Amino acid sequence: MADTVTDWKAFITAKRAAAKLSQSEFAARFGFNLRTLQNWECGRSRPHKFLRPSLLRKLSKIHVDTYATCV
């Protein structure tokens, strides 16, 4: 699967919002460190290129109408 996401910050934030989960719940459900998720959502870092295909597969089942933003 190609890395088709260009804005990881918006993508991950929107997926979590669509799932109606807190950051802690989302991190626990998908096996992420909470601080890592927070860094992704606020644009301080993004998923490692080797993790991205797996992350896309894990999150592909969450339907998102629009991308949310980090607050």
Q: What are 38-64's pLDDT values in tens digits? A: 999 999 999 999 999 999 988 888 887
Cβ contact 42:13 at 8 Å? no
- 45: DSSP letter: -
What's the rounded Cα separation, in Å, for the pair 56 and 58?
6
Res 65: pLDDT: 64
Domains of the chain, start order:
8-59 (1.10.260.40)
pTM (predicted TM-score): 0.78
Res 71: pLDDT: 47
